[in-house]
Amino acid sequence: MSLFQFTRRSIWIATIIIEVLLLIGQTVTDQFSFMQGLHWPPPILIPMFGTLCIVLADTRQIRKYSGALFVIGCLYWCVHDWRPQPPIDHAQVPFRFMHWTVEEGDSRRAQSTLQVASSYETDFLCLVNINTLLRLPRKEVFAHLPHQKVQWPFLFASKWPLTCEVVLWEDHTVEHPLNIARGSIDHPDGIINFVALDCPSDPSLSRMGTSHRIRQALGSCNADLVFGDFNCPRHAASIQQAFPDHTHAFDQAGNGPIMTWPAKFPILHLDHLLLNDRWTCVEYGTHRPEVGDHLPQHARLIRSTP
């Protein structure tokens, strides 16, 4: 075997090991903290590494193995990120929802965030990690959402009266701050209960550990809507453990890859919306503003039983 063949075969082995590890990571997700990092890379990398394996394969047998892994990777990516759902016929007027982890840091950026957020048509808005924005004339800008409550780091604005309370609040003096708020919206068709989360961002922190903290704070959660910056990818075991009776809005109305971070070149879906069985999502996606660290997620929701 020549040096070129040896190098090519070595790169092929390394590439196929990475592809297999990514598949394992997507399957196991974040159940084990020592390998939760394997769940973070976007699933599109799996078929990309599969393509590279096929290119590097230097025998027919190796090419067959590479092709099989490529097909598995493509199928997983299609199921995970390309999940076209048939449109749901409904006579209800949808409840329009929007959540945005803004992380504004100065007055100019806060002003831009406020202007952009006010331009979207929504019945309920949650902005997270707000600071400077609170000193701006938000009540006038959000005149179409007259009912507003602030429970730092959350700002809630609604078309209808709402209540909210802090369940757990930790500022940045805590090493891994976790913030949880819950509340209700006095919708004309019935109360809508919600839970908002802002989870720690340290990628080395055990996501299952954070999930346990959420369960301890909330107990058994039966809120209609659960949303926030979970700081872990979609379908993570930690999300399922914390909210076993809820379904991701993407699973009902997702159609194509949806990523929320980073805003300039999104590759990870870290912000999520979960629904209980009393609600159905008929539209789910993201906006693309020119400001902010995350992309806002938006949805149109109807009651499963009118």
For the stretch 113-144, pLDDT in tens is 889 999 999 999 999 988 777 777 888 889 99
Q: What is the average pLDDT across 204-218?
A: 94
Q: Which residue, 156, 209, 146, 157, is CA-closest to 181? A: 156
Both structure tokens of 124? 């309920």
The model's confidence at residue 103, banded by pLDDT at 50, 70 and 90, is confident
Whole-number pLDDT of residue 87: 76
83 phi/psi in degrees, rounded to 5: -125, 75
Beta bridge partners of 155: 127, 150
Both structure tokens of 182? 């819950």
Higher-confidence residue of 192 and 32: namely: 192
End-to-end C-alpha distance for the chain, whole angstroms: 70
Whole-number pLDDT of residue 204: 86
Rounded to an integer, what distance in angstroms lies between the CA atom of residue 178 and that of residue 198?
A: 6
User: Is the predicted pLDDT of residue 62 greater than 90, yes or no?
Assistant: no
What sections of 29-119 are H helices per DSSP? 45-56, 60-81, 107-119
Whole-number pLDDT of residue 172: 65
Whole-number pLDDT of residue 82: 78
Residue 81 neighbours by CB under 8 Å, 6+ apart? 42, 43, 44, 256, 257, 258
Whole-number pLDDT of residue 298: 97
Q: What is the average pLDDT across 192-199?
A: 97
Taken in order 289, 182, 134, 118, the sign of the CA dihedral is: positive
User: Is the predicted pLDDT of residue 28 greater than 80, yes or no?
Assistant: yes
Global confidence as pTM? 0.92
Average pLDDT along the chain: 90
Higher-confidence residue of 23 and 97: namely: 97
User: Is the predicted pLDDT of residue 18 greater than 90, yes or no?
Assistant: yes
Whole-number pLDDT of residue 173: 66
The model's pLDDT over 231-284, given as tens digits with 9 standing for 90+, comes to 999 989 999 999 999 999 999 998 788 999 999 899 999 999 999 999 999 999
The model's pLDDT over 64-81, given as tens digits with 9 standing for 90+, comes to 989 998 999 888 888 888
The model's confidence at residue 222, banded by pLDDT at 50, 70 and 90, is very high
Rounded to an integer, what distance in angstroms lies between the CA atom of residue 6 and that of residue 23?
A: 26
Which contiguous run of DSSP H or E holds residue 144?
Answer: none
User: What percent of the chain lies above the pLDDT cut of 90?
Assistant: 58
Whole-number pLDDT of residue 248: 96
Structural domains present in the chain: 3-81 (no CATH), 95-303 (3.60.10.10)
The model's pLDDT over 158-173, given as tens digits with 9 standing for 90+, comes to 999 999 999 998 876 6
Q: What is the average pLDDT across 294-303?
A: 96
Residue 137 neighbours by CB under 8 Å, 6+ apart? none
User: Is the predicted pLDDT of residue 304 greater than 70, yes or no?
Assistant: yes
